[in-house]
Amino acid sequence: MGSVVKSTNKEVNGSVAVKNPTVVFVLGGPGSGKGTQCANIVEHFGYTHLSAGDLLRAEIKSGSENGTMIQNMIKEGKIVPSEVTIKLLQRAMQENGNDKFLIDGFPRNEENRAAFEEVTKIEPAFVLFFDCPEEEMERRLLSRNQGREDDNIETIRKRFKVFLESSLPVIEHYTAREKVRKIDAGRPVEEVFESVKALFTPKDEKAD
107 is known to lie in a ligand binding site: yes
The reply to whether 143 sits in an annotated binding site is no
Spatial neighbors of 159 by CB under 8 A, at least 6 apart, are 29, 30
Q: Confirm or deny that 105 is annotated as ligand binding.
A: yes
Q: Is 181 annotated as a binding residue?
A: no
Task: State the CB neighbour count (10 A cutoff) for residue 7.
Answer: 6
Query: Does 157 count as an annotated binding residue?
Result: no
Distance CA 55, CA 41 (A): 19
70 is in an annotated binding site: no
DSSP assignment of 4-17 equals P--TTS---TTS-S
Is 7 annotated as ligand-binding?
no
Is 31 annotated in a binding site? The answer is yes
**Is 106 annotated to bind ligand?**
yes
Known binding residue 179? Answer is no
Does 159 appear as a known binding residue? yes
Is residue 97 annotated as involved in ligand binding? no
**4 annotated ligand-binding residue:** no
Residue pair 15/81 in contact by the 8 Å Cβ criterion: no
Residue 158 marked as a ligand binder: no
Say if residues 66 and 55 touch (Cβ distance below 8 Å). Answer: no
- DSSP β-bridge partners for residue 128: 26, 181
Detail the residues annotated as belonging to a binding site for a ribonucleoside 5'-phosphate. Answer: 57, 78-80, 105-108, 148, 159
Detail the residues annotated as belonging to a binding site for ATP. Answer: 31-36, 144, 187
Detail the residues annotated as belonging to a binding site. Answer: 31-36, 57, 78-80, 105-108, 112, 144, 148, 159, 187
Detail the residues annotated as belonging to a binding site for CMP. Answer: 112
